[in-house]
Amino acid sequence: MQKVKCADRALLRSPVFINLLARALALDWRSNMPNLANLLQMLLWIGVVIAVFNVIIFVHELGHFLAAKWRGLKIERFQIWFGRPIWKKEIDGVQFGLGWIPAGGFVALPQMAPMDAIEGGDSERAPLPPVTPLDKIIVAFAGPLFSMLLAMAAAIAVWQIGKPADFIPSQEVGYLVPGSPAEKAGLKIGDKITAINGEEVNGFAGSLNSISERIILSRGKQITFTVERPGEAKPLELSSGFETEKSHWYQRRGLRQVGIDPAGPAVVGDISPNSPAADAGLVKGDRVIRIDGNKVHGLMHFSQYLRDKNWQTVRIAVQSTDGQVRELDITPERPLQPSGMDPKIGIIWDSRAEIDSRLIKPSPLRQVSDSLHMMWVTITSVIAPDSNIGVDHLSGPVGIAKMQYQLLQTEEGWRRILAFMVLFNVNLAVLNMLPFPVLDGGHITLAFFEKIFGRPIKARPLEILQSICAVLLIGLMIYVTSKDIGDGFGRNSGKSQEIIFPAD
């Protein structure tokens, strides 16, 4: 009496490195959060997220189902989601159903491998004829194959319609946090970072070989920066330590940071009413290019300059959208609300001005290759003893759903969802091929052993091993899901308060 739900924990078995992906996308999610009063729109987004999950699960399990039909295996159930079915219907001896726990799906195939201790066996079932190792391999492999085919389908769609680049091209240092590891190492504003730990970098954020990601994924106790500095004939090599953002026990550990920001345009996104900026005549789209005759290297550089000047009057040069440059004096004022805030000038910066969001159309093979590379970097970083990346930086169903929900709220969000489906389905296919019990790769490995030794592995020891692995897997998913939820509290979870200046 052997029963298994084959590949069947499609989402539960596919943790994705969501934190790294979010940084790679270089998006400010909080600036794109929906108006919660718009309940219909929020429900629509939630519905789309659930639909995307269901498509991913269905296609993976459909692979197992069709392969089992082809090879003549007994199919007891085909269910999307876990738990007691809230809907079910029997067709040609197969029970199709929808569970109440939205975290995966399964195809119940009693001729594959024993899982009675986990799922409960049917003691009244008549003995079924055994199936060949080749049948088991084909059925187990079909799920990851269909996931990879779905990834290729999504990749072809992205290739045709494009996706936002979401890339910060600047490699110039535009800001140094006072007292930060980077400042102590000798980096200066205006330095161009060309390599980190001997590996060339491309841009500041948005890819695995960018400056931000190379810092996050670095190993060891020191990070070596190769920089080109104006006035220096040869590149300099500077060694820096790093810091990690403090977090609570229920949150993910902070990632490595050295205290730098990229140089970029300081573009006005909006102006607070009654503010010094409004009084000075600044408007949306203006670009601040100089302050007291000094080049403005970016938003943080501008803010730090005001702080260093102790909020005194400064003269800024502003370039309007038609290219004309004008100079004006401006004096920071303390806002009426929130109370106790440092003086401000009332500019709400366009935080996306420095991001290249052009539509790009990478080839399907390039997209799949990049997804495989991200997976490799993730896995090797998690297991490396000198890395700050750990299991807690993986994400479960809650984190993945949150990521999709946030993607949908951005401009061109539907294009980003398609690109995300490439990464996720590649992840799902590859992780399921790992040769561990419960996973599809585990079934394939057992089938190979059965072929070599001429008989199946003894049911009882195998059932115990699979039960242990299933418990460990469920424990891992509970752990990473707790971090998905925990990160929503405290660190970076609050909305910024509206700044109100007193009316004249």
Residue type, 275: S
Measured CA to CA, the distance from residue 8 to residue 490 in angstroms comes to 35
Measured CA to CA, the distance from residue 277 to residue 261 in angstroms comes to 24
Predicted structure pTM score: 0.83
What is the structure's pLDDT at 126? 66
* Residue 92, both tokens: 């040609």
What is the structure's pLDDT at 273? 93
What is the structure's pLDDT at 105? 82
Which residues of the chain are under the pLDDT cut of 70?
1-38, 103, 113-126, 459, 490-496, 504
What is the structure's pLDDT at 343? 93
Q: What angle do CA 152, 355, 489 make, to 5 degrees?
A: 85
What is the structure's pLDDT at 428? 92
* Residue 467, both tokens: 């039960």
Helix (H) or strand (E) holding 257: strand 256-257
CB atoms within 10 A of CB 388: 17
Measured CA to CA, the distance from residue 414 to residue 412 in angstroms comes to 6
> How far is CA 16 from its chain centroid?
7
